[in-house]
Amino acid sequence: MVVGRWGIPSVAAGGGVDALLPTGRGHCVLVQKDSLLPTTRTLAAGPGSEPDPDAAISVRGLVKRYGDRAAVDGLDLDIRRGEIFALLGPNGAGKTTTVEVLEGYRKRDGGDVRVLGVDPARGGRRWRAQLGIVLQSGAGDSQLSVRELLKARASYYAEPRDPDEVMELVGLTAEAGARGRTLSGGQRRRLDVALGIVGRPRLLFLDEPTTGFDPEARRQFWALIRSLRDLGTTMLLTTHYLDEAEALADRVGVLARGQLAEVAVPAALGGRGTAPAVVSWTEDGVRRSAETATPTAFVRELAARFPGEVPDLTVARPTLEDVYLKMIGQVPEGGGTAAAVGRRGAERSQGVSS
Ligand SMILES: Nc1ncnc2c1ncn2[C@@H]1O[C@H](COP(=O)(O)OP(=O)(O)OP(=O)(O)O)[C@@H](O)[C@H]1O
């Protein structure tokens, strides 16, 4: 058995403000349309404000430098208890660094951070036992069976979930006796999640959890995440899949160059909620389209011009992907994801990193 972090057994080692949008539960976002950084801030997590004692995660002015380069550069963020928050951002934006600071795995250079009310830099075993972590590389080649792995992990917690219930929850009951190395990629990921939740965490970190899943496995995984939310688990999800963020997240935060460019509910990100619709149709053999703020009225007028169905009619608004790509630009800062991941993989088995 490999001993991972914390001694817990591991199976792997400026433009103008254009609008004020409510994001729910008393938070608002300031939307600026014509600048990349920062376009939006949660008012509740404004610079200089006090950390929110009721939040599951509360961050003010987080700074993390590697050499003279700031990977995280003054981050403010509140994640409410019980919500699923998706952290989005291009390669090298600072997502993993941020999450590692929150997990108590990486030292920060500045700022105030509270996770379940505790500074992660000082979090002890009791605090850590309330966290669940599902890393990118997981259960892999274990010689132990699924049930053995879960029982071993559960034994480290005061009030673990029943391993059989966890297997049921993640859909691994039929594989209870199978060794980790014989599982398919999707089953291994389920096992990663099972290991992450068997300690009954109040806060679950999910790092790109569905990479490599087939479409059906992703849908099943989403259902699992929703059922965990129903059980009251707060989740911080990092993902590059925009549809996943849209399907799961109560709110999304877009990180770019170490700062939060925007925090919003998925439907409001980048002004989606108020963006004009694009109506398209075919007329006289030609594809036509028009932007309109009143698509219903437009389509009604259009329909009056045609005796039957309007040919090839579609009405579209910007997708989450559209606004996200616009927000971040296309060129990843710093490149080098593979190098960063490899470096991290090596560091993660060795305790807290600077
Ligand atoms: N241990 C390290 N030493 C030096 N630089 C690092 C280290 N870890 C990360 N970086 C750099 O910090 C920046 C942020 O990296 P980070 O891994 O946090 O980004 P990310 O948003 O998680 O990226 P990805 O989506 O590719 O996983 C990058 O420029 C990266 O190269």
pLDDT at 196: 92
pLDDT at 273: 81
C-alpha to C-alpha distances, 182 to 12, 134, 198, nearest whole angstrom? 16, 20, 21
Q: Kindly state whether residue 238 falls inside one of the protein's structural domains.
A: yes
Nearest in space to 190 (alpha carbons), one of 208, 215, 217: 217
187 and 296 housed in the same domain: no
Q: Kindly state whether residue 232 falls inside one of the protein's structural domains.
A: yes
Distance 93 CA to ligand 1 centre (A): 7
| More reliable by pLDDT, 17 or 128 | 128
The CATH number of whichever domain residue 49 belongs to comes to 3.40.50.300
Query: pLDDT digit string (tens) for 210-245?
Result: 877 788 888 888 998 998 999 899 999 999 899 999
**Ligand 1 site, residue 335, Cβ cutoff 6 A:** no
51 and 71 housed in the same domain: yes
Residue 14 has pLDDT above 60, yes or no: no
Distance CA 263, CA 237 (A): 14
pLDDT at 29: 30
Q: Kindly state whether residue 266 falls inside one of the protein's structural domains.
A: yes
Atom index in ligand 1 nearest the CA of residue 97 equals 18
Residue 294 has pLDDT above 60, yes or no: yes
198 and 312 housed in the same domain: no
Q: Atom 18, ligand 1: which residue's CA is nearest?
A: 94
Q: Kindly state whether residue 226 falls inside one of the protein's structural domains.
A: yes
pLDDT at 351: 55
196 and 131 housed in the same domain: yes
pLDDT at 28: 30
Q: Kindly state whether residue 35 falls inside one of the protein's structural domains.
A: yes
Which distant-in-sequence residues (6+ apart) come within 8 Å of 91 by Cβ? 332, 334, 335, 336, 337
250 and 167 housed in the same domain: yes
Q: Kindly state whether residue 354 falls inside one of the protein's structural domains.
A: no
53 and 155 housed in the same domain: yes
Residue 338 has pLDDT above 50, yes or no: no
Residue 346 has pLDDT above 70, yes or no: no
Residue 248 has pLDDT above 90, yes or no: yes
Residue 182 has pLDDT above 90, yes or no: no
168 and 299 housed in the same domain: no
**Ligand 1 site, residue 258, Cβ cutoff 6 A:** no
Distance 112 CA to ligand 1 centre (A): 21
pLDDT at 112: 95
SS3 of residue 236 by DSSP: strand
**Got the DSSP string for 156-195?**
TSSSPPPHHHHHHHHT-GGGTTSBGGGS-HHHHHHHHHHH
Q: Please count the other Cβ atoms lying within 10 Å of the Cβ belonging to residue 178.
A: 16
Residue 10 has pLDDT above 60, yes or no: no
Range of the domain at 312: 276-316
pLDDT band at 270; cut points 50, 70, 90? confident
Pinpoint the alpha helices (H) of the chain: 95-102, 125-128, 146-154, 163-170, 185-197, 215-230, 242-248, 295-304, 320-328, 337-348
pLDDT band at 185; cut points 50, 70, 90? confident
Q: Kindly state whether residue 307 falls inside one of the protein's structural domains.
A: yes
Distance 97 CA to ligand 1 centre (A): 6
User: Among 44-48, 150-154, 269-273, which stretch is predicted with the lowest mean pLDDT?
Assistant: 44-48
Query: pLDDT digit string (tens) for 315-335?
Result: 998 888 888 888 887 533 333
Distance 255 CA to ligand 1 centre (A): 12
**Got the DSSP string for 263-304?**
EE-GGGGGGGGGSPEEEEEEETTEEEEEEES-HHHHHHHHHH
Whole-number percent of the chain with pLDDT over 90: 53
pLDDT at 266: 93
Residue 207 has pLDDT above 80, yes or no: yes
227 and 114 housed in the same domain: yes
pLDDT at 137: 65
pLDDT at 7: 32
Tokens 């994640």 identify what position? Answer: 79
pLDDT band at 178; cut points 50, 70, 90? very high
72 and 219 housed in the same domain: yes
How many domains are contained in the chain?
A: 2
| More reliable by pLDDT, 125 or 30 | 125
Tokens 């951070």 identify what position? Answer: 113
Query: pLDDT digit string (tens) for 56-112?
Result: 999 999 999 999 999 999 999 999 999 999 999 999 999 999 999 999 999 999 999
236 and 263 housed in the same domain: yes
147 and 288 housed in the same domain: no
Q: Kindly state whether residue 353 falls inside one of the protein's structural domains.
A: no
Which distant-in-sequence residues (6+ apart) come within 8 Å of 295 by Cβ? 277, 279, 315
> Please, what is the average pLDDT of the chain?
80
Q: Atom 4, ligand 1: which residue's CA is nearest?
A: 66
Interface ipTM: 0.97
| More reliable by pLDDT, 323 or 265 | 265
Q: How far is CA 261 from the centre of its chain?
A: 15
Distance 118 CA to ligand 1 centre (A): 25
**Ligand 1 site, residue 33, Cβ cutoff 6 A:** no
122 and 103 housed in the same domain: yes
Distance CA 120, CA 27 (A): 25
Query: pLDDT digit string (tens) for 122-168?
Result: 999 899 999 999 887 665 567 889 999 999 999 989 889 999 999 98
Distance CA 176, CA 166 (A): 11
Residue 268 and residue 255 in contact, taking contact as beta carbons nearer than 8 Å: no
Q: Which residue among 62, 64, 66 has the greatest number of ligand 1 atoms within 8 angstroms of its CB, and so is best to mutate?
A: 66
Q: Please count the other Cβ atoms lying within 10 Å of the Cβ belonging to residue 339.
A: 10
